[in-house]
Amino acid sequence: MWGNLGKNVQHAGGREGGQRLRHARTRPAAEQAWRLLLESAYASPGQLGSILCARPKLDLAFAPPYDSVKLALAWQKLLDAAPEVGGTETHRYDVVNVSRQVLTNLAGEVFAEATGAYRAGDAQLLSESAARFLDLMRDIDDLLADRRDNKQPSTRHGIACRFTPRPVRYLRVTVTHNSANTGRHLVEVMAMAD
């Protein structure tokens, strides 16, 4: 996925054209984020998979073929650009997508630490690493919670989506309705720290 998107961005006018295409404006932080993305994940030859989706086994290794630090810096730059371009759907999508990859890369590092601790017989480090790995899985679940493809008819009890409690500053709720019934349809709930 990353590699193909990187090629498409290159065809759209390089990092400046790709950033403008995705965010409708040129802003320094967004420009820096795109430069870092093109030098890291978007330079990757294709899909990498995920340590979180792999079949569990002790000798599982996950190391992206790019500099994870550059991807994390791009993530920070995307967050820095939010006050100016954060209102665009594409920026929010990019932040979630890059956040997921940064957390996935970190989960790979924590998994390697846990397996090293297991092999060394270090029960304390194994326990700590396992707890951090599970925390990362929960964070990614919270980040990606999405029911837009749900095809189940609703019931009077609705569908419960539970998240780990976190302090937030803003909560945006989008609700629609149609003339076919008297109910309202919850479309999106977005919680933002700032």
What's the pLDDT at 30? 85
pLDDT band at 22 (very low <50, low <70, confident <90, very high): low
Of residues 63 and 6, which shows the higher confidence score? 63
Crossing angle of the two packed helices 28-39 and 14-23, in degrees rounded to 10: 120
Closest CA relative to residue 98, chosen from 51, 40, 138: 40
What's the pLDDT at 176? 81
What's the pLDDT at 184? 74
Helix (H, G, I), strand (E, B) or coil at 85: helix
What's the pLDDT at 104? 92
* pLDDT digit string, tens, across residues 24-34: 456 788 889 98
* pLDDT digit string, tens, across residues 92-131: 888 889 999 999 999 999 999 999 999 999 999 999 999 9
Surface-to-core class of residue 138, CB atoms within 10 Å of its CB (0-12 exposed, 13-18 middle, 19+ buried): exposed
Q: What is the mean pLDDT of the chain?
A: 79
**Is this structure's pTM higher than 0.95?**
no
Domain spans in the chain, listed from the N-terminal domain onward: 2-144
At the second CATH level, the architecture of 2-144 is Up-down Bundle (1.20)
